[in-house]
Structure 1
Amino acid sequence: MPDNVPIIDLSKAPGSRESWDRPFWIVLLWAVVEPVLVTSSLQLSSRVRIAVLRWFGAEIGPGVIMRPGLKVRFPWKLSIGANSWIGERVWLHNQDRLEIGHDTVISQDSFVTTGTHAVKTDMALVTRPTFIGDGVWVTSRCMVLGGSRIGTSALILPNTVVKGDVPANAVYGAAPATVVGDRFSDDTRARRPSPDSR
């Protein structure tokens, strides 16, 4: 490895408390309550998870279903619309505002974040709001990065990394991720290309 490649001294990296937006005691209390009543693998009712999240400031509409293993960084920065489903072991790492629309599905093992780090300077936390629209389906094991906006009724294919904007009604995925067709269309030509057509 060349000697002139810089290394960031992580001992001097700024902390992330500026993203808390709540007193230390509330963040500490959430750190105790979350694993017991929200993340727990026990088949606790969605109503218990929702009640706890609302008590800590989350905005959650009626009819929402939340499965075991859910992790939420800061409930007071979370909004979920009515009738949405949040699957097993979903991690909502929302150090900034995260808005999830109504009738939206975030499937199991998916990771949604609002943050990253200043990778070329001091590794300071950098956050941007993330928006997942109404009627979206983020399928299993996807990653939605900070600042992304997923449009109404888009479908994100399994194991896809979303960075930036996804148009409404798009089927988004593949390697590299791209729009491969319309989710709702009378046009039978709007289909994923076959491997031999490339």
Structure 2
Amino acid sequence: MDMLRKALERGLTPANVASWASLEAMRVLGVGFGTLRLRLKARLLGVELGRGVTAHGPVGLLRWPGGRIRIGAGVHLISSWRRATAACLAWPVRLRVFGPWASIDIGEGSELSGTSITARSTAVRVGRGVLVAPNCVIVDSDFHAPWPPEARATEPGMERDAPVTIGDHAWLGMQCIVLKGVTIGEGAIVGAGSVVTRDIPPRTLAAGAPARVIRHLGPEAGAHA
């Protein structure tokens, strides 16, 4: 409402009214239809949804029998460019577990934008209040054995899979890739376009390919991160 008040101060023109009305319509209708579709799909496929989970746009859910996908209370799943604030989305949110022991767990109050998470045989855990910016990919596997090369197409190399953990209130920038076996600490920030191949300590800023710690975050440093 504060934004509407500021818009009105600039003049109650037909164009301003139409712009505000179209934005509100996209927000209300998009989240209403997206959330309804998500809840129906989750019930059909046995995906656990907490209270107040919302979706804007389609969400891809693929659960292998015996696998587990849990989306905590108050999670926001953004799959539409109309709702994304920072950038267009390359794809909808996609959550997939491949095996009966695999699991994905999204903590309460987190927000995912066009995020692809795949747990092939272990677990991907996203903490509470985590922000995942547009077009990030998180995986627990290489999906092919690295050696011998002639067998890569046929050898799954599942023994190399390793779980991924993202701590509470971490923030992943746009187009990050988080690879198997990684832990990102509580409150950490990962810069846009980074490839995370090793652990990121809590309350640090990391960036690059591969991502490396740039500095520690605190009340003063965090304001300039």
TM-score, normalised with respect to structure 1? 0.66
**1:71 maps to which residue?**
94
- Whether 2:48 is the aligned partner of 1:54: answer yes
**1:136 maps to which residue?**
170
1:176 CA drift (Å): 5.1
**2:131 maps to which residue?**
105
- Tell me: CA distance 1:175–1:73, structure 2 relative to 1, closer, same or farther (3 Å): closer
**2:110 maps to which residue?**
84
Higher percent of residues as helix: 2
| Identity over aligned pairs, percent | 21
Q: Which amino acid aligns with 1:49?
A: L
**1:163 maps to which residue?**
197
Q: Which amino acid aligns with 2:69?
A: A
The 8 Å contact of residues 181 and 191 in structure 1, kept in 2 or not, is answered as no
- How far, CA to CA, are the matches of 2:217 and 2:111 in structure 1? 19
1:158 CA drift (Å): 0.3
1:118 CA drift (Å): 2.1
**1:119 maps to which residue?**
146
- How far, CA to CA, are the matches of 1:108 and 1:151 in structure 2? 20
- How far, CA to CA, are the matches of 1:103 and 1:183 in structure 2? 17
Q: SS where residue 45 of structure 1 aligns?
A: helix
1:58 CA drift (Å): 1.6
- Tell me: CA distance 1:187–1:131, structure 2 relative to 1, closer, same or farther (3 Å): closer
Larger deviation, residues 175-184 vs 93-102: 175-184
**1:28 maps to which residue?**
none
1:139 CA drift (Å): 1.1
> Quick one: higher RCO (CA 8 Å, sep 6+), 1 or 2?
1
Aligned pairs, how many? 149
- How far, CA to CA, are the matches of 2:110 and 2:39 in structure 1? 12
The 8 Å contact of residues 133 and 151 in structure 1, kept in 2 or not, is answered as yes
Structure 2: segments with no counterpart, 5+ residues: 1-29, 50-62, 80-91
- Whether 2:118 is the aligned partner of 1:93: answer yes
- Tell me: CA distance 1:73–1:177, structure 2 relative to 1, closer, same or farther (3 Å): same
What's the Cα RMSD here? Answer: 2.7
The 8 Å contact of residues 93 and 112 in structure 1, kept in 2 or not, is answered as yes
- How far, CA to CA, are the matches of 1:187 and 1:65 in structure 2? 28
Match of 2:34 among 40, 45, 48: 45
Larger deviation, residues 171-180 vs 137-146: 171-180
TM-score, normalised with respect to structure 2? 0.59
